Amino acid sequence: MSASASSGIKAIHHEIFEFITSGAGEALSAHEILTWGIKNFAPKIALSCSFGAPEGLVLLDLMHRIDPRSRVFVLDTGRLPQATYDLIDRVRERYDKPIEIVFPRAEDVEAMVRSRGVNLFYESVENRQLCCRIRKVEPLRRYLAGLDAWVAGLRRDQGVTRGETPKLEIDAGNGGIVKLNPIADWTHDDVMVYVRANDIPTNRLNAQGYPSVGCDPCSRAIAAGEDPRSGRWWWENPETRECGIHAGEEDQGSGI
For residue 198, the tally of other CB atoms under 10 A from its CB is 12
In the annotation, is 132 catalytic? Answer: no
Tell me how far CA of residue 31 lies from CA of 67, 126, 246, in angstroms: 12, 39, 22
- Number of residues in the chain: 256
User: Which of 16, 218 has the CB closer to ligand SF4?
Assistant: 218
Sheet holding 71-75, edge to edge: 100-102, 71-75, 45-48, 149-151, 177-180, 168-171
Comparing CB distances to ligand SF4, the nearer of 7 and 124 is: 124
Q: By C-beta, is 32 or 239 nearer to ligand SF4?
A: 239
Helix (H, G, I), strand (E, B) or coil at 163: coil
Amino acid at residue number 39: K
CB of 225 to ligand SF4, least distance (A): 24
Give least dist CB 193 to ligand SF4, A: 29
DSSP calls for 119-132: TGGGT-HHHHHHHH
Catalytic residue among 131, 215, 218, 243: 243
Chain contacts with ligand SF4 (rule: CB under 6 A)? 77, 79, 121, 128, 131-132, 135-136, 214-215, 217-218, 254-255
Closest distance between ligand SF4 and the C-beta of residue 1, in Å?
30
Question: Which single residue brings its beta carbon nearest to ligand SF4?
Answer: 255
Instruction: Report, as residue numbers or ranges, the catalytic residues.
Output: 243
